[in-house]
Amino acid sequence: MKVTKTKLEGALVFEPKVFGDARGFFMETWNYQRYKEAGLDVKFVQSNLSKSAKGVLRGLHFQNPNPQGKLVQILTGEVYDVAVDIRLGSPTFGQWHGELLSGDNNKQFYIPEGFAHGFCVLSETAIFSYMCTHVYDPKSDYSILWDDPELNIDWPINEPLLSDKDKQAPTLSSLKTTSLPKY
């Protein structure tokens, strides 16, 4: 398995080995021991699956308290996936990393606890799979405006389809510091 570190501490890109032939393919999507040896020593407690249409942008979402680390992967389709370091005191606070994930490249992106996360769908549809280190807690759920000018994320989409929650999300700098995780 190939592992690539990003400029954001703890945010990792995994490229699992894929064994394929004319019949199809097989790949291991999670093996605690193998991923621990590769630098990811976490316990996942919830697994989610979503399907979205082209142009949908979900995010930027995070939980505090009870932050969720997420190992994300696309089963079918293609998305541009983004992690933003929002940990107060972090040397990379406010910086982001984007990764193209698809059912063809089989990449996995680990977004650590304390990061905001979002993605936009580039294909006709995308099936998005992710495992989380904490269960979803609606009382801890926050959003940051997807096109926050201070974050300056280079999204490959200009007019996304957004939920009402994401349309009304505040900028990072307008959130109370008590809402943000600490480094």
Q: Give the amino acid at 40.
A: L
Q: Distance between CA 78 and CA 81 in Å, rounded?
A: 9
Cα angle for residues 5, 112, 35 (degrees, 5° grid): 60
Beta strand pairing call for 12-15 and 125-132 = unpaired
DSSP 107: -
Burial category of 33 from C-beta neighbours within 10 Å (exposed 0-12, middle 13-18, buried 19 and up):
exposed
Selection from 136, 11, 141 nearest residue 84 by Cα: 11
Task: Find residue 115's DSSP bridge partners.
Answer: 85
Q: What type of residue sits at position 105?
A: N
Task: Read off the tokens for 146.
Answer: 């997807």
**130 in active site:** yes
CB distance 109 to 81 below 8 Å = yes
The answer to whether 61 is a known catalytic residue is yes
For the chain, how many residues are written? 183
| Residue in 35, 80, 110, 130 annotated catalytic | 130
List, by residue number, the catalytic residues: 61, 130
